[in-house]
């Protein structure tokens, strides 16, 4: 007689023993991390026990893993009293962090990547300004003086370009949006999380942009960081998702849909959103027509759509035409130079030179504004 196979359910974590409520709750978001999860959590747990002077909790946030990750997380939670775990049915780092932080009662919540690329010696300096009340959020930065970073040139270039893009488009003051090493006061998180829409990798950037615009203080800690060669991040889809996120947040800021504790650069943001929309529309239309024709058509369409947000008539008025002509000339010239230098270049190269063309137009404006406004404090509001 054939017997049906028995499928054992993932064991639920046992109720924690009575102990002091944690002051810090660190989330570790994971997806299919059966190789790194146990050694990383044990290393983090040992470091906190030896160096952190307050009660703490480590929350493993498993978002839809299909390997042995949930079994390992359950075993760690059963063995280590300061470790808990939650399981989500859907993927997404932002979704995992939202769930872990929303369920926590600790005064300070944070997260770090499971590969522990960031040196753990920076953990106490990250949390201390939040516990003292000096700052509302704290982030590790790989791009500030004092940081020591080991990673390949490709990831270094992508990271720096992304953060330059944020400064030129959304006028941010923080230096490193995507370092997987952040903490936030729970009262600030309660204000920010309902406003953050992204559930993936852009979650960090959106959280920081909204926090800075609301006047919250962001403390930066230079970190030692070593690249994980087994990183699961797919650069191209992540980059496109980030571009869509920047466009969405920029448009929301321009329309006043997000709270702001400082003046919004209402004209700069929609023009930047237009540039990002141009890249996305160009990528969609390029297979159907020649590069120069698609560039002119997509740029004109995005420019017309940007005018109402700028408070102008739907069609570009004569005063706006020189700016449109200049943008068209620079983007068309960039494509022509690319075609001359590399006749076989593909869509990725075309998008890269178009993005560089838009940045070349935005950088002088950003530099001029910075010179007029003086050096801005990176912590959002005035330092105490």
Distance in angstroms (rounded) separating the CA atoms of residues 245 and 209 = 11
Distance in angstroms (rounded) separating the CA atoms of residues 295 and 333 = 11
Paired strand residues for 218: 137
Distance in angstroms (rounded) separating the CA atoms of residues 298 and 280 = 9
The torsion angles phi and psi of 98, rounded to 5 degrees, stand at -60, -45
Please state whether beta strands 24-30 and 56-63 pair in parallel, antiparallel, or not at all (unpaired): parallel
To which residue do tokens 């002051």 refer?
A: 23
Determine which one of 36, 62, 198, 204 is catalytic. 204
Q: What would the 3-class secondary structure string for 256-325 be?
A: CCCCCCCCCCCCHHHHHHHHHHHHHHHHHHHHHCCHHHHHHHHHHHHHHHHCCCCCCCCCCCHHHHHHHH
The DSSP letter of residue 32 is S
207-226 burial string, b = 16+ CB within 10 Å, else e?
Answer: bbbbbbbbebbbbbbbbbbe
Is residue 204 part of the annotated active site? The answer reads yes
Give the closest residue to 333 by CA, choosing from 296, 286, 281, 279.
296
By the 8 A CB rule, do 265 and 173 touch?
no
Distance in angstroms (rounded) separating the CA atoms of residues 96 and 112 = 12
The torsion angles phi and psi of 380, rounded to 5 degrees, stand at 85, -70
Tell me if residue 150 falls in helix, strand or coil.
strand
Catalytic residues: 204
């Amino acid at each position: 007689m054939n017997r049906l196979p028995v499928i054992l359910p993932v064991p639920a974590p046992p109720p924690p023993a009575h102990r002091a409520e944690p002051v810090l709750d660190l989330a570790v978001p994971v997806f299919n991390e059966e190789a790194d999860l146990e050694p990383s959590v044990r290393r983090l747990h040992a470091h906190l026990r030896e160096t952190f002077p307050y009660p703490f909790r480590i929350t493993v946030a498993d978002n839809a893993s299909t390997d042995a990750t949930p079994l390992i997380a359950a075993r760690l939670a059963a063995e280590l009293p300061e470790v808990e775990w939650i399981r989500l049915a859907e993927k997404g780092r932002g979704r995992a962090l939202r769930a872990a932080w929303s369920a926590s009662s600790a005064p300070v919540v944070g997260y770090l990547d499971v590969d522990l690329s960031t040196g753990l010696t920076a953990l106490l300096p990250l949390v201390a300004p939040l516990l003292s009340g000096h700052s509302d959020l704290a982030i590790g930065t790989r791009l500030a003086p004092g940081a020591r970073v080991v990673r390949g040139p490709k990831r270094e270039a992508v990271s720096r370009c992304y953060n330059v893009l944020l400064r030129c488009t959304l006028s941010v003051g923080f230096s490193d949006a995507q370092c997987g090493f952040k903490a936030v006061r729970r009262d600030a998180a309660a204000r920010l999380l309902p406003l953050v829409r992204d559930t993936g990798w852009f979650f960090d950037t959106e959280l920081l942009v909204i926090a800075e615009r609301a006047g919250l203080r962001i403390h930066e800690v230079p970190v030692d960081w070593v690249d994980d060669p087994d990183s699961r991040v797919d650069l191209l889809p992540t980059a496109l998702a980030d571009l869509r996120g920047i466009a969405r947040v920029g448009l929301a800021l321009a329309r006043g849909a997000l709270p702001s504790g400082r003046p919004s650069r209402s004209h700069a943001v929609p023009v930047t959103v237009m540039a990002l929309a141009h890249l996305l529309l160009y990528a969609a239309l390029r297979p159907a027509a020649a590069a120069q024709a698609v560039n002119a058509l997509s740029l004109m369409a995005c420019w017309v759509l940007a005018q109402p947000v700028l408070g102008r008539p739907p069609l570009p008025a004569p005063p706006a035409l020189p700016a449109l002509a200049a943008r068209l000339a620079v983007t068309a010239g960039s494509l022509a130079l690319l075609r001359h230098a590399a006749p076989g270049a593909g869509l990725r190269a075309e998008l890269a030179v178009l993005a560089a063309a838009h940045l070349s137009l935005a950088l002088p404006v950003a530099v001029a504004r910075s010179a007029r406004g003086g050096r801005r404090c990176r912590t959002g509001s005035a330092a105490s």
